[in-house]
Amino acid sequence: MVGDWIKNLCRGIEISDQNFEPYRKRRAEYLRHYQHAVGDDAANVLPLNIVAWTVNVLLPHLMYRHVIEAMIEARDPWKQPEADWLSQRWGNLSRQIHLAPTLQDLIVDAMFGPSIAKTGLSAVQRWDSDGGILHDPGQAYCDAIDFDDYILDPRAKRREQASFEGNRFWVSRQAALDSGMYDNGKIEELAVITRNKYWGGVDEQ
User: What are the tens digits of pLDDT across the range 21-59?
Assistant: 988 888 888 777 776 655 555 555 554 466 676 777 777
pLDDT at 123 over 80: no
Q: Look at 16-30, 87-101, 118-132 and tell me which has the smallest mean pLDDT.
A: 118-132
Q: What is the per-residue pLDDT for 194?
A: 53
Question: Cβ of 159: how many Cβ atoms within 10 Å?
Answer: 9
Percent with pLDDT over 70 in the chain:
70
- Provide the greatest CA pair distance for the chain: 63
Query: 200 falls in which pLDDT band (50, 70, 90)?
Result: very low
Q: How far is CA 156 from CA 8, 13, 133, 153, 160, in A?
A: 15, 13, 34, 6, 8
C-alpha to C-alpha distance for 52 and 30, rounded to whole angstroms: 9
∠ CA 174-4-191, rounded to 5°: 25
- What does the radius of gyration of the chain's CA atoms come to, in whole angstroms? 21
Q: How far is CA 74 from CA 32, 90, 94, in A?
A: 48, 15, 21
C-alpha to C-alpha distance for 91 and 69, rounded to whole angstroms: 5
State mean pLDDT over 88-105: 86
Q: What is the per-residue pLDDT for 201?
A: 42
Q: How many CA atoms lie within 13 A of 153 on its CB side?
A: 11
| Mean per-residue pLDDT of the chain | 76
Phi, psi values for residue 14, rounded to 5°: -60, -45
State mean pLDDT over 118-136: 67
DSSP 8-class letter at 144: E
Phi, psi values for residue 184, rounded to 5°: -65, -30
SS3 per-residue string spanning 67-102: CCCCCCCCCCHHHHHHHHHHHHHHHHHHHHCCHHHH
Q: Are 170 and 195 in contact (CB under 8 A)?
A: yes
